[in-house]
């Protein structure tokens, strides 16, 4: 597939690294940057035959089949509208919009144009995430009742991230979008998010946006998705997920401590891993960042979806729901109360509460918990079905 990349900065280079790796048949045929020198450098580094500082020129090239957006958040909407106008499939980096209103406009544009809108949520394609999600869907941990997703690091690379107007916010819009979508996948995308409670504050940096936040997202079935995000965490990038179910638990550490540890005096290269703060001492490199961060699986899914006419695992609709959740988080951070998630176009199911199948100890009692004590004695905590009294046997 012939691709155009919009943007020549940090994320676009990550995308290009995955697209040109391992003899892929998909190729980048054009690159756009507002700075023509940056576009020229990018084209030289990746062997791209065409570069330009004119967005419409890049998108409308006849040989371009799909457009990949790696631009600042304020440029997502105009870039998507341009791609939809040209009838090109469009894949957009996260977050889809600076808010749900922008995201909904983009969703409607690609649907009206009849093109694929792929949401480039790479952390929903990491090897550990895909394995975890498959386990959840197989019923290995029962009903998911609580998820925790954490992304923290010392702050983003580009200047526009720190500009609240251009980015749409701070750590919540930048990192919370990952966490919200990770939780949605584990809890179930057909389960409606209903309300959010969020704390956010600007603790360290001289900026208008928040650099730390913690939030709880409540779902219609009672499940909770918890996110923890920070632009002030020292020591690298910390990506961790936890999934708690009625029959099991999943813990995943995606980046900071992956089993690869190295000590160096610092005489080698400067780059160790994304957001690493030092190149000496004990370090935690990542074997293949592009793969471990999900880019390889993500683009494979996106291009296969376009080829086969199906939807990718992450769509513009998913990006819209994430933006709606984050809008509620920002409102809650101001009001200090639970705020409803406002969704104009809900396409999931309507949750019907089912009677819980409670474990019986015998005809008279429910079983609450069973365990073996250090002395070998077996203990059961039970509840009387009629009186409700709690007893130990």
- Asked if residue 263 and residue 139 are part of one domain, the reply reads yes
The distance of Cα 383 from the centroid of its chain, to the nearest Å, equals 42
238, β-bridge pairs? 152
Tokens of 356: 């819980």
Cα(11)–Cα(161) distance, integer angstroms: 12
Residue 23 contacts by C-beta under 8 Å, 6 or more apart in sequence?
Answer: none
- Asked if residue 364 and residue 271 are part of one domain, the reply reads no
Work out the average pLDDT over 178-196. Answer: 98
Q: What is the band of 283 on the pLDDT scale with cuts at 50, 70, 90? A: confident
- Asked if residue 137 and residue 65 are part of one domain, the reply reads no
Phi, psi (rounded to 5 degrees) for 269: -70, 160
> Tens digit of pLDDT for each residue in 329-382?
999 999 999 999 999 999 998 887 777 778 888 989 999 989 888 888 899 998
User: Strand order of the sheet with strand 224-230?
Assistant: 249-253, 238-245, 144-152, 224-230, 212-219, 193-201, 339-340
Q: What is the band of 12 on the pLDDT scale with cuts at 50, 70, 90? A: very high
Residue in 15, 190, 254, 48 with CA at minimum distance from that of residue 118: 15
For the beta carbon of residue 123, count every other beta carbon within 10 angstroms.
Answer: 24
- Asked if residue 138 and residue 252 are part of one domain, the reply reads yes
- Asked if residue 204 and residue 331 are part of one domain, the reply reads yes
> Tens digit of pLDDT for each residue in 152-170?
999 998 899 999 999 999 9
- Asked if residue 63 and residue 37 are part of one domain, the reply reads yes
The model's pTM: 0.92
> Tens digit of pLDDT for each residue in 305-320?
999 999 999 999 999 9
For the beta carbon of residue 27, count every other beta carbon within 10 angstroms.
Answer: 14
- Asked if residue 208 and residue 336 are part of one domain, the reply reads yes
Cα(118)–Cα(255) distance, integer angstroms: 24
> Tens digit of pLDDT for each residue in 31-89?
999 999 999 999 999 999 999 999 999 999 999 999 999 999 999 999 999 999 999 99
Residue in 367, 371, 370 with CA at minimum distance from that of residue 382: 367
Cα(18)–Cα(298) distance, integer angstroms: 10
Longest CA–CA span in the chain (Å) reads: 78
More confident position, 157 or 29: 29
What is the reported pLDDT for 213? 98
Q: What is the band of 274 on the pLDDT scale with cuts at 50, 70, 90? A: low
- Asked if residue 333 and residue 363 are part of one domain, the reply reads no
Domain boundary among 94, 115, 136: 94
Question: Which uninterrupted H or E stretch holds 367?
Answer: strand 365-372
* Domain span holding position 363: 358-393
Q: How far separated are the first and last CA of the chain, in Å rounded?
A: 66
Within a domain: residue 111? no
The region that residue 100 occupies, defined by phi over 0 for left and psi between -120 and 50 for alpha, beta otherwise, is: alpha
What is the reported pLDDT for 157? 86
Tokens of 292: 């471990």
- Asked if residue 256 and residue 283 are part of one domain, the reply reads yes
Within a domain: residue 99? no
Q: Any idea what the CATH number is for the domain that residue 255 is in?
A: 3.30.360.10
> Tens digit of pLDDT for each residue in 215-242?
999 999 999 999 999 999 998 889 999 9
More confident position, 263 or 201: 201
Contact 368, 382 (CB under 8 A): yes
Within a domain: residue 292? no
| Of 178-192, 196-210, 342-356, the least confident | 342-356
- Domain count along the chain: 3
Q: What is the band of 266 on the pLDDT scale with cuts at 50, 70, 90? A: confident
DSSP string computed for 159-228: GGGG-HHHHSSSHIIIIIHHHHHHHHHHH-TTSPEEEEEEEEE--SSSSSS-SEEEEEEEETTS-EEEEE
Contact 30, 7 (CB under 8 A): no
For strands 66-69 and 51-52, give the pairing: unpaired
Contact 80, 115 (CB under 8 A): no
Residue 225 contacts by C-beta under 8 Å, 6 or more apart in sequence?
Answer: 146, 147, 149, 179, 180, 183, 184, 186, 187, 193, 216, 217, 219
Cα(207)–Cα(284) distance, integer angstroms: 30
Domain boundary among 94, 113, 145: 94
Contact 256, 233 (CB under 8 A): no
Work out the average pLDDT over 376-391. Answer: 92
Work out the average pLDDT over 104-120. Answer: 98
217, β-bridge pairs? 196, 225
Within a domain: residue 75? yes
- Asked if residue 321 and residue 375 are part of one domain, the reply reads no
What is the reported pLDDT for 30? 98
- Asked if residue 190 and residue 134 are part of one domain, the reply reads yes
- Asked if residue 276 and residue 379 are part of one domain, the reply reads no
Residue 318 contacts by C-beta under 8 Å, 6 or more apart in sequence?
Answer: 119, 121, 181, 184, 189
């Amino acid at each position: 597939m012939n691709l155009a990349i919009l943007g020549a900065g940090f994320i676009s280079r990550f995308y290009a690294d995955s697209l040109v790796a391992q003899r892929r048949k998909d190729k980048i045929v054009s690159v756009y940057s507002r700075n023509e020198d940056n576009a020229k450098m990018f084209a030289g580094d990746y062997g791209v035959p065409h570069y330009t500082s004119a967005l419409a020129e890049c998108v409308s090239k006849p040989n371009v089949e799909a457009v990949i957006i790696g631009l600042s958040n304020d440029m997502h909407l105009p870039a998507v509208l341009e791609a939809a106008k040209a009838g090109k499939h469009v894949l957009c980096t996260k977050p889809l919009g600076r808010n749900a209103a922008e995201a909904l406009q983009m969703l409607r544009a690609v649907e009206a144009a009849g093109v694929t809108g792929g949401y480039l949520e790479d952390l929903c394609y990491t090897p550990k995430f895909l394995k975890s999600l498959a386990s959840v869907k197989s019923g290995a941990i029962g009903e998911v009742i609580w998820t925790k997703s954490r992304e923290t690091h010392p702050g983003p690379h580009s200047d526009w991230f720190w500009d609240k107007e251009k980015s749409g916010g701070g750590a919540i819009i930048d990192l919370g979008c990952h966490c919200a979508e990770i939780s949605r996948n584990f809890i179930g995308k057909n389960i409606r998010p209903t309300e959010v409670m969020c704390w956010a504050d600007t603790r360290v940096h001289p900026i208008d946006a928040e650099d730390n936040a913690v939030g709880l997202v409540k779902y219609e079935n009672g499940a909770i998705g918890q996110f923890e995000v920070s632009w002030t965490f020292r020591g690298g990038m910390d990506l961790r997920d936890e999934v708690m179910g009625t029959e099991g638990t999943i813990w995943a550490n995606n980046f900071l401590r992956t089993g690869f540890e190295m000590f160096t005096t610092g005489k080698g290269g400067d780059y160790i891993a994304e957001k690493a703060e030092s190149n000496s001492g004990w370090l935690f490199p990542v074997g293949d960042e592009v793969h471990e961060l999900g880019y390889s699986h993500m683009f494979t899914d996106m291009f296969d979806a376009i080829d086969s006419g199906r939807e990718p695992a992450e769509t513009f609709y998913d990006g819209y729901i994430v933006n709606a959740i984050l809008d509620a988080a920002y409102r809650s951070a101001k009001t200090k109360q639970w705020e409803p998630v406002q969704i104009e176009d809900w396409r999931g199911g309507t949750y019907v509460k089912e009677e819980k199948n409670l474990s019986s100890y015998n005809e008279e009692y429910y079983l609450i918990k069973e365990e073996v004590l250090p002395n070998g004695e077996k203990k059961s905590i039970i509840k009387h079905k009629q009186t409700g009294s709690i007893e130990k046997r």
